[in-house]
Amino acid sequence: MASASVWSVTTTTPTEESAQAIARAAVSERLAAGALIAGPVVSVFWHLGELGDGQEWRVELRTSSATRDKLADRIKELHPWDNPELIGQPIEWCPEEYANWVDRSTTASE
């Protein structure tokens, strides 16, 4: 079984369209093997010294450890916000076949 070779990278966006644009670009550019979009979700946050809330769309992308930082940079380029939520977590366990798929999908030679 694979460990820590697969990463889950998550961001939120203000619209479904921006979520789809980020997901589509990341996968088509082979920075992510796949993406899940969920929403709308309700978010409560501090922004510019005030309590806020709003509707957001969550984008969760699967990538390899070798591609994680490039994916994060690309999300920042595409994201409509100056300081978006952008977090990554290693996947501690997944079947080896899944890890191999993620690796192949984020390698330009496939």
Q: What's the CATH architecture for 11-61+69-87?
A: 2-Layer Sandwich (3.30)
Burial 41-70 (b: 16+ CB within 10 A, else e): eeeeeeeeeeeeeeebbbbbbbbbbebbeb
* Distance between CA atoms of residues 27 and 61, nearest Å: 9
Supply the pTM of this predicted model.
0.92
Q: Which whole number is the average pLDDT over 7-26?
A: 98
Beta-carbon count within 10 A of 72 CB: 19
pLDDT the model gives residue 1: 47
pLDDT for 23-63, tens place per residue? Answer: 999 999 999 999 999 999 999 999 889 999 999 999 999 99
User: Domain coordinates of the chain in residue numbers?
Assistant: 11-61+69-87
pLDDT the model gives residue 109: 61
Rg of the Cα atoms in the chain:
15
pLDDT for 55-106, tens place per residue? Answer: 999 999 999 999 999 999 999 999 999 999 999 999 999 999 999 999 999 9
pLDDT the model gives residue 4: 61
User: Is 70 exceeded by the pLDDT of residue 3?
Assistant: no
